[in-house]
């Protein structure tokens, strides 16, 4: 009884010093259990259908892509804060949503040989010291005791940010930007690529191309959010 009262007292003091907030609307919430208040959670739009990827990509090298949410304003702002401000409670929230999605709707994917996060160029990785896809992947690897093959592939040259580019630039930008370190460990493997956003699908597709050229048998993709076919109209210019 005394211990419980001590914990409650500590939490009250902690919440006074570090107020619990919703990372979307910025309103105070009672307890920081996750990153959104109940009202803002209603703004998350599920995206249960499979993602084909844009026809303009040309050859599609991944087998099937899935995404949890539509890339709406709420999700976009959360991903931005997780990616650039390193607010890890947001990453934990999305990682758990991915785990729930795998458990409830994609349990077949738990038979993959391992996972790969989309790598960052080494200079960019040093500058930011944080890879949002890698952070989420580690949570999933720990949950299911799957193998992490991310160190077997790297980004061999820098690319400009996909944000605000034209549609065609988004398609062309990632081409020939990935390399494999040890192809032998990848041969005949079935892998799940983890990333934050699937828009045109060009980056994930280029990574899938590199992996398949080095012996990977099947590739699935799972992301937090996707604009999928809507993106072509938005960025066509």
Answer yes or no: do 21 and 135 share one domain. no
Answer yes or no: do 103 and 29 share one domain. no
228 confidence band (pLDDT: 50, 70, 90): low
**Higher-scoring residue by pLDDT: 178, 49:** 178
Is the torsion defined by CA of 224, 49, 193, 234 positive or negative?
negative
Answer yes or no: do 11 and 117 share one domain. no
**pLDDT value for 198:** 87
Percent of the chain with pLDDT over 70: 70
**Distinct helix (H) and strand (E) counts, the chain:** 9, 7
210 confidence band (pLDDT: 50, 70, 90): very high
pLDDT digits (tens, 9 = 90+) for 179-188: 898 899 999 9
33 confidence band (pLDDT: 50, 70, 90): confident
* Contact criterion met (CB below 8 Å) for 91 and 82: yes
Answer yes or no: do 89 and 183 share one domain. yes
Q: Is the pTM of this model over 0.75?
A: yes
| Domain region containing 19 | 1-42
Answer yes or no: do 188 and 215 share one domain. yes
* Contact criterion met (CB below 8 Å) for 124 and 99: no
**Structural domain count, the chain:** 2
Answer yes or no: do 19 and 131 share one domain. no
Answer yes or no: do 116 and 228 share one domain. yes
**Higher-scoring residue by pLDDT: 177, 62:** 62
Answer yes or no: do 23 and 87 share one domain. no
**pLDDT value for 47:** 78
Q: DSSP labels for 133-170? A: HHHHHHHHHHHHT-EE-GGGEEE-S----STT--HHHH
What is the rounded CA–CA span in Å between residue 73 and residue 4?
Answer: 40
What is the rounded CA–CA span in Å between residue 232 and residue 171?
Answer: 10
């Amino acid at each position: 009884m005394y211990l419980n009262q001590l914990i409650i007292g500590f939490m009250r003091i902690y919440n006074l010093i570090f107020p619990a907030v919703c990372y979307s609307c910025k309103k105070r919430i009672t307890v920081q259990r996750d990153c959104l208040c109940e009202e803002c959670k209603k703004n998350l739009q599920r995206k249960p259908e499979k993602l084909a990827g844009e026809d303009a990509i040309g050859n599609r090298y991944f087998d099937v892509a899935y995404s949890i949410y539509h890339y709406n304003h709420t999700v976009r702002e959360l991903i931005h804060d997780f990616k650039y401000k390193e607010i890890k409670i947001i990453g934990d929230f999305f990682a758990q949503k991915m785990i729930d999605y795998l458990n409830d709707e994609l349990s077949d994917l738990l038979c993959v040989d391992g996972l790969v996060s989309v790598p960052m160029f080494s200079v960019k990785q040093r500058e930011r010291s944080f890879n949002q896809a890698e952070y989420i992947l580690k949570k999933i690897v720990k949950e299911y005791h799957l193998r992490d093959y991310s160190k077997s592939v790297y980004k061999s040259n820098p690319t400009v940010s996909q944000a605000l580019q034209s549609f065609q630039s988004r398609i062309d930008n990632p081409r020939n930007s990935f390399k494999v370190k040890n192809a032998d460990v990848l041969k005949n493997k079935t892998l799940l690529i983890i990333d934050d956003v699937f828009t045109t699908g060009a980056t994930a597709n280029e990574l899938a191309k590199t992996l398949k050229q080095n012996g990977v048998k099947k590739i699935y993709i799972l992301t937090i959010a996707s604009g999928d076919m809507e993106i072509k109209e938005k960025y066509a210019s």
